[in-house]
Amino acid sequence: MTSHQVSRVLVMLLSLAAISSSPVAGAVELQDLKGFDDIFGRYAPAGDCKRQPQILVDASGFTFFVAGKTEKVTNPENALQFYGPDYQGPDLWFFPFRLKDGYSILLTFNHSGKKGVLAIEPQDEGYPGGPALSPRNKALVGGSPYQRCK
C-alpha cells in the first residue's frame, strides 16, 4: 500500500470514528482535505478554465470563485455513507456550506465513477417548497458538471 493510500485510509477511519458525534449520520466535519489528493486541482465547467465558476481543491480545503468573488472553505463535511456503508466506488461527497437545518449543496467528485468530474447539486436548497438557492449556490449548480482544468 502506498503512503497516499495509507493516509487516505487513516482519514477515513478517523472520520468513521467521528460519525457518531456528527449531527447528520454519515457526515463528518474535516479540518482540511489531506488524504484526498486524488481530487486536488482546479475545476471549471467542462474543464475550460476561461469559464467560471471555478473550484480549487487542495490540502487546505475548497476555494470557490464565483462572479468575481472568492470564498475559502476549510472545514467541509465529508458525507462518508452517502450511498450506503457498502459503497466501494470512487465517488466522494462533500458538503461545503451548512444551513441551520442541513446543507445547501452537495459536491460529488469522480461523479458516476468518472475521475476528474465534479457534479454540484442542490441538497437542502433549491427544491420546490424549500428555501431558494443563494446566488452563489445557484451559479455553482448551474456550472455543473465540472472537470479538472486541462
pLDDT tens for 49-103 read 999 999 999 999 999 999 999 999 999 998 876 666 667 678 899 999 887 777 8
pTM above 0.85, yes or no: no
Number of domains within the chain? 1
| CA atoms of 5 and 142, how far apart (whole Å) | 33
pLDDT confidence of residue 85: 67
Which pLDDT does position 79 carry in this prediction? 85
Kindly report the backbone phi and psi dihedral angles of residue 76, in degrees, each rounded to the nearest multiple of 5, phi listed first: -70, 170
> How high does pLDDT run on average in the chain?
82
Cα gap 23→138, rounded to integer Å: 25
Q: Which domain holds residue 111?
A: 3-148
